[in-house]
Amino acid sequence: MEGGKIMGFFSGIKYNINGFSLALKTPSLLMLGLLRFFVVFGLTLFLSGLILYWHEEILTMIWKMPEGWLIYVWNVVAWGLSLFLAGIAMVLSYLIAQLFFGVFIMDYMSQITEGIVLGKKPSSGQGSWGVLFFYLIRQEIPRAILPVLITLVLMLAGLFTPLSPFIFVLSSLAASIFLAWDNTDLVPARRMIPFGERMQFLKGNLPFHLGFGILFLIPWLNILFLSFAPVGATLYYLDKERSGSA
């Protein structure tokens, strides 16, 4: 990686942590982030618990329990599959919470952060609540839902190929980039910047988004970083905007 790309990568990590730090010191951001955290965490525990409870039945549908020494191999595979499915459950929990609940909290957290930085409350300019509802959902589908679902499909497909470890790592990194963009895109989407221009912003700042999203790959802590990510992402976009590079 070139020097600028390396700096962009570590800048992404820094902004994510700085946003988390600001949220801890701002009561409204802290409450919203914790609300989002407990919604995702609760769904994750529920779905993961179901998978772990039924892990033997799930594997039996694929491979019936053998006899003799193979049963030890079967048990190892059963728990490995369960851990993999628990990871998928975590992603699905995020998507469910995001589509029906989290996107509104994210936008509100972004607005509060923008108000702190600029000294005034930004206007969403979307009209009524109903208009805002459909606007946010429409933005969220191409921005986060579809990329993450495609990533899940790639991960599942990778299970049946010799390249599964490589595909798993690659798809995880891709998901982290799109999850980061889901947060940095809040301000430009709210300002009605065309989708094509926002995609160009992502392409031009891939190392930053990889660094920002790499924290989302830390098991369990990723839910906490995801919950407060709108703060650091908004700080980053506003800094880029004020420097004229957004």
Per-residue pLDDT band for 114 (boundaries 50, 70, 90) equals very high
Cβ contact 222:215 at 8 Å: yes
Which pLDDT belongs to residue 191? Answer: 84
Q: Is the pLDDT score of 184 beyond 90?
A: yes
Q: Phi first, then psi: what are they for 115, rounded to 5°? A: -65, -40
Which pLDDT belongs to residue 71? Answer: 76
Higher model confidence: residue 53 or residue 6?
A: 6
Q: Is the pLDDT score of 190 beyond 90?
A: no
Q: How is residue 10 written in tokens?
A: 């570590």
The whole-number average pLDDT for the span 175-203 is 90
Which pLDDT belongs to residue 14? Answer: 97
Whole-model pTM: value is: 0.77
The whole-number average pLDDT for the span 1-17 is 87
How far apart (Å, rounded) are the C-alpha atoms in residues 176 and 214? Answer: 6
The whole-number average pLDDT for the span 70-91 is 72
How far apart (Å, rounded) are the C-alpha atoms in residues 85 and 87? Answer: 5
Cβ contact 232:27 at 8 Å: no
Q: Is the pLDDT score of 48 beyond 80?
A: no
Q: Is the pLDDT score of 193 beyond 80?
A: yes
Structural domain spans, the chain: 3-237
How far apart (Å, rounded) are the C-alpha atoms in residues 184 and 235? Answer: 9
CA-wise closest residue to 110 among 240, 245, 232: 232
How far apart (Å, rounded) are the C-alpha atoms in residues 239 and 246? Answer: 8
The whole-number average pLDDT for the span 63-91 is 71
The alpha carbon of residue 198 and the mean position of all alpha carbons in its chain are separated, in whole angstroms, by 18
The whole-number average pLDDT for the span 56-83 is 71
